[in-house]
A and B are shown apart, each in its own frame.
Chain A
Amino acid sequence: METKPFNENVATNPLRTKADCVEALVDILAPAMRLVESGG
């Protein structure tokens, strides 16, 4: 499966449903949480 660029998901997210909104939040949190996990 092709991996989308880091911000493509959130940029194209239609935000029509609650699931859409949750996914947008997850997309924004994920890079920062990777940093937290690494102790950065």
Chain B
Amino acid sequence: MSDSGAVYSQDRTSIEGFCRLLWGLGPLFANRSNISRFPRWWQLSCAGIVHGTTPDDSDFWGNPLDDYDQLFVEMGAITAFLFETRQDFWDHLSDVQQDNILTWLDQINAHELPKTNWLWFRQMVNTWFVHTGHLEYDALVQADFDVTASHYLGHGWSYDGYENQIDNYIPFAYQFFTLMNVGLAERDDRARYDSACDSEKTCNTKSAGIDNADVPETIQRSDNNACNPVNSGNANRLCSAEAKRYTLLKQRATAFVPSYANWFASDGACLPFGRSLDYRFAQAAFWGAAAFAGIELPAGWMLGDVKHLLLGNLRWWFRQNIFQSDGLIPIGYAYPNMNMAEGYNGPASAYWALKTFIFLCIPDTDTFWTTRESDDFKFEPLKPQPEPRMLVAHSRTGLEVQAFTAGQHAPEHNHTDAKYEKYVYSTTFGFSTPKAATVLKQMACDNTLAVSESEYHWRTAFGYADYAIHGDYVYSRWEPWSNVTIRNFIVPLMPWHIRVHVIDSARALHLAEGGFAMPDFGQELAGPNINAIGGVAGASAQHAADGSFASGWDASKDDTRNPLSATRALNITDEADTLPNVNAQAENPDRRQEAGSTTGGIAAAMVNGTSSSPTATFAMHQQSLFYRTEVGLTGLIGAEGFSLELSTPEPNTNLLYPKTRIPLQMRVIEPGRYIFVSAYLGDRELESVGDDGSIAMPNAALVGNELCIEYRNESKLVKLAELHD
């Protein structure tokens, strides 16, 4: 496909290229009629496996393999194909050919594997051994199952070897392979039961340890009367062990449904987060496997909801630019992109996504195919998810998902700081991975704070010293140097969110903080109104221009406790605010917002050596910046002393759009303590826009550790528990 490299050897890359296609070929040929429709593809698939496992063949895949060999991953695809096509492939092989395949597969039991989802590939292989009459392999299945089962966290989530790393890959792998294993094994049992009954007419449907009482009802396969004639003699023990494992896995999958569903938007997009995003529509694989395995659905959920999530995500993906002109799927996400790739992404790795088509193994007569997709999209406006350490928010109709994260950390992957430790990730605006860290535009620092001791060599959060997920905000503490501490408090306020940074630094620092990225074909607005097109790029808009945030307080309450009343007293609407702008420094006189010289800080932002009393207020700067495209509306309300800029990062940094603009605020600080409050807008549905085109803006002020927020005539107080000094 291409000559790009991966961490494994080139011959492994070629074998991977063949095996990954089996993830789609297996479900295709599970329907026998497709074998006669695509005879050449069938012949190539079968011959490839036979030749690859025949020791004296020129295409032999090798023996011995190595510890941690990439081919152990590909054994998953081969085993799935064997299960899916057993009656037409395996059952027609000679004894020698079958032995060759088993001997080659058995190598996985003689080598070291990482204690991660790779153990599921070994469970699949050993389950195949059991299902071909080698009952002793069930002990190996059980041993690996005990390890993977111990990785369970809650709400259906498991971790993949690293508890701090909960990403898209978890449902790609753990949740998918568990259910695929369940579904294929039970399907194999049913097929052999039917075959045995046809030939012997003696099978008792309740005799083999799995009866219908063990099978969840909601997506129950109509012919699920499992019996295992091959395993006669040990059938009861084996079926009981399998049934016990499968029951647990299905229960966990049931719990996973409402949690993972919250990662999806109503247009079918799934939250891009973490590593391995090259696998693209594997995001829908869990839904395909859940339908195939016949899990019980949670209360209030219907099969049509699962079908909607599955097919909606596939439709979303097939509308993206994921194909080359020759029809192949290259490395990338929503467009071809090597920048975001992992070291283990080979040229054909993306075809791992084909496993999503496991649902084609559902029989033609099953109710899945006649069930109507749900019209209603289920989502929760704001949902704390403790296992992936997120607050997940949806826009008004669910078109946009934003995940506010804290405490995730993956030590090894490319761009791991960008993939795991930004403040928020979005289905509409994606996120960006840097090209380099030397110059700021290479950083593409959307939704993160970059710091540097000069204008060069920037760094963003990599490893938080502390974190917390609360019901209304997330907290993280980052220590980029031993004498610099940055505490972050991120408060969702869809389509806005408020960021509070408390910086204690013994170093002078350059700061650059970005908002949401959008395509570069939009227009910067001249003010907080979407009709204000054609204004001076970068012109600041006065925060209080629409006065919307001044009216939300209940007059019957003691207004003296309202920090915003204090900010009003400081003449928040006065463009000529004359408060001293302590330590606001211009690191670049060319920056456009400096020309606007909105010197007005609402309150002093530097507290070190001035005021740190608990009644001091810290509010947002009066500058704002807005940018609109057909994708939506982004913007920010800057913090004290920052200059604003609609930045143009390097191309091919964002996952969704090859060229982007990112609202950015920048400032230089001297050593000291600072508290900055700012707001960021990521508005897919133009929820913030009024009938006259004006953009409703929040106001926020911090008093002690209480953050007071006003937005659209409503107010709320958020107590920042970790801000106690």
- On chain A, the residues within 8 Å of B41 by CB distance are 29, 33
**Residues 1-40 (chain A) with a chain B CB within 8 angstroms:** 6-7, 10-11, 13-15, 17-18, 21-22, 24-26, 28-33, 35-37, 40
The minimal Cβ–Cβ distance linking A20 to chain B, given in whole angstroms, is 9
Q: Which of B323-331, B580-588, B596-604 contacts A (4 or more CB under 8 A)?
A: B323-331
**Are A24 and B21 neighbours in the complex by a CB distance under 8 Å?**
no
Decide: A22 near B28, CB < 8 A? Known: A35-B328, A36-B21. yes
The minimal Cβ–Cβ distance linking B221 to chain A, given in whole angstroms, is 15
Identify the closest chain B residue to A17 (Cβ).
B369
Would you call B213 an interface residue if the criterion is a C-beta within 8 Å of the partner chain's C-beta atoms?
no
- On chain B, the residues within 8 Å of A18 by CB distance are 360, 364, 369
Q: How far is the CA of A33 from the CA of B328 in the complex (A)?
A: 10
**Are B327 and A37 neighbours in the complex by a CB distance under 8 Å?**
no
Q: How far is the CA of A22 from the CA of B38 in the complex (A)?
A: 12
Would you call B40 an interface residue if the criterion is a C-beta within 8 Å of the partner chain's C-beta atoms?
yes
Q: Which of B117-125, B241-249, B313-321 contacts A (4 or more CB under 8 A)?
A: B313-321
**Are B25 and A29 neighbours in the complex by a CB distance under 8 Å?**
yes
- On chain B, the residues within 8 Å of A22 by CB distance are 28, 31, 34, 360
- When the two chains form the complex, which single residue of B1, B34, B325 contacts A40, counting CB atoms closer than 8 Å? B1
Q: How many A-B residue pairs have CB under 8 A?
A: 74
- At the interface, is chain B mostly helix, strand, loop or mixed? helix
**Are B357 and A35 neighbours in the complex by a CB distance under 8 Å?**
no
- On chain B, the residues within 8 Å of A6 by CB distance are 323, 325-327
Decide: A28 near B354, CB < 8 A? Known: A6-B327, A7-B327, A21-B359. yes
- On chain A, the residues within 8 Å of B44 by CB distance are 33, 36-37
**Are B351 and A32 neighbours in the complex by a CB distance under 8 Å?**
yes
Decide: A28 near B311, CB < 8 A? Known: A18-B360, A21-B359, A33-B44. no
The minimal Cβ–Cβ distance linking A10 to chain B, given in whole angstroms, is 5
Q: How far is the CA of A15 from the CA of B310 in the complex (A)?
A: 10
Q: How far is the CA of A1 from the CA of B41 in the complex (A)?
A: 25
Decide: A35 near B1, CB < 8 A? Known: A6-B323, A7-B323, A18-B364. yes
Q: How far is the CA of A6 from the CA of B323 in the complex (A)?
A: 9
The CB with the most chain A CB atoms within 10 A, among B25, B311, B327, is that of B327
**Are A15 and B364 neighbours in the complex by a CB distance under 8 Å?**
no
Would you call B24 an interface residue if the criterion is a C-beta within 8 Å of the partner chain's C-beta atoms?
yes
**Are B18 and A36 neighbours in the complex by a CB distance under 8 Å?**
yes
- On chain B, the residues within 8 Å of A29 by CB distance are 21, 24-25, 28, 41, 354
Identify the closest chain B residue to A32 (Cβ).
B21
- On chain B, the residues within 8 Å of A37 by CB distance are 40, 44
Decide: A32 near B328, CB < 8 A? Known: A15-B315, A24-B318, A25-B27. yes
**Are B1 and A25 neighbours in the complex by a CB distance under 8 Å?**
no
The minimal Cβ–Cβ distance linking B306 to chain A, given in whole angstroms, is 14
- When the two chains form the complex, which single residue of A13, A25, A28, A32 contacts B360, counting CB atoms closer than 8 Å? A25
**Residues 394-431 (chain B) with a chain A CB within 8 angstroms:** none
- On chain A, the residues within 8 Å of B329 by CB distance are 28, 32
Count residues of chain B with CB under 8 A from any CB of chain A. Answer: 34
Q: How far is the CA of A23 from the CA of B237 in the complex (A)?
A: 42
**Residues 10-69 (chain B) with a chain A CB within 8 angstroms:** 17-18, 21, 24-25, 27-28, 31, 34, 38, 40-41, 44, 48
Identify the closest chain B residue to A22 (Cβ).
B360
Q: How far is the CA of A26 from the CA of B455 in the complex (A)?
A: 51
Q: How far is the CA of A6 from the CA of B359 in the complex (A)?
A: 24
The minimal Cβ–Cβ distance linking A26 to chain B, given in whole angstroms, is 7
The CB with the most chain B CB atoms within 10 A, among A14, A21, A26, is that of A21
- On chain B, the residues within 8 Å of A26 by CB distance are 28, 38
- On chain A, the residues within 8 Å of B21 by CB distance are 29, 32-33, 36
**Residues 321-345 (chain B) with a chain A CB within 8 angstroms:** 323, 325-329
Identify the closest chain A residue to B369 (Cβ).
A18
- On chain A, the residues within 8 Å of B326 by CB distance are 6, 31
Identify the closest chain A residue to B323 (Cβ).
A7
Q: How far is the CA of A33 from the CA of B25 in the complex (A)?
A: 10
The minimal Cβ–Cβ distance linking A7 to chain B, given in whole angstroms, is 4
- On chain B, the residues within 8 Å of A13 by CB distance are 315, 318
Q: How far is the CA of A10 from the CA of B27 in the complex (A)?
A: 18
- On chain A, the residues within 8 Å of B28 by CB distance are 22, 25-26, 29
**Are B327 and A30 neighbours in the complex by a CB distance under 8 Å?**
yes
**Are B319 and A11 neighbours in the complex by a CB distance under 8 Å?**
yes
The minimal Cβ–Cβ distance linking B231 to chain A, given in whole angstroms, is 32
**Residues 568-592 (chain B) with a chain A CB within 8 angstroms:** none
Identify the closest chain A residue to B281 (Cβ).
A28
Q: How far is the CA of A10 from the CA of B319 in the complex (A)?
A: 8
- On chain A, the residues within 8 Å of B364 by CB distance are 18
Decide: A31 near B327, CB < 8 A? Known: A25-B28, A25-B360, A36-B21. yes
The minimal Cβ–Cβ distance linking B515 to chain A, given in whole angstroms, is 31
**Residues 349-373 (chain B) with a chain A CB within 8 angstroms:** 351, 354, 357, 359-360, 364, 369
- When the two chains form the complex, which single residue of A25, A32, A33 contacts B357, counting CB atoms closer than 8 Å? A25
- On chain B, the residues within 8 Å of A15 by CB distance are 311, 314-315
- On chain B, the residues within 8 Å of A21 by CB distance are 311, 357, 359-360
Q: How far is the CA of A31 from the CA of B350 in the complex (A)?
A: 14
- On chain A, the residues within 8 Å of B311 by CB distance are 15, 21
- On chain A, the residues within 8 Å of B357 by CB distance are 21, 25
- On chain B, the residues within 8 Å of A32 by CB distance are 1, 17, 21, 327-329, 348, 351
Q: How far is the CA of A24 from the CA of B329 in the complex (A)?
A: 14
The minimal Cβ–Cβ distance linking B3 to chain A, given in whole angstroms, is 12
- On chain A, the residues within 8 Å of B318 by CB distance are 7, 10-11, 13, 24
Identify the closest chain A residue to B326 (Cβ).
A31
Q: How far is the CA of A33 from the CA of B348 in the complex (A)?
A: 12
The CB with the most chain B CB atoms within 10 A, among A6, A26, A28, is that of A28
The minimal Cβ–Cβ distance linking B372 to chain A, given in whole angstroms, is 10
Q: A32-B328, A36-B18 are in contact. List 12 more A-B contacts (CB 8 A).
A: A11-B318, A13-B318, A14-B315, A15-B311, A15-B314, A22-B31, A25-B27, A25-B354, A29-B25, A32-B21, A36-B17, A36-B21
Top 10 closest A-B pairs, CB basis? A31-B327, A6-B327, A7-B323, A15-B311, A10-B318, A18-B369, A25-B357, A31-B328, A11-B318, A29-B24
- 10 A-B residue pairs with Cβ-Cβ distance under 8 Å, sorted by A, are A18-B360, A18-B369, A21-B311, A22-B34, A25-B357, A29-B24, A32-B329, A36-B17, A37-B40, A37-B44
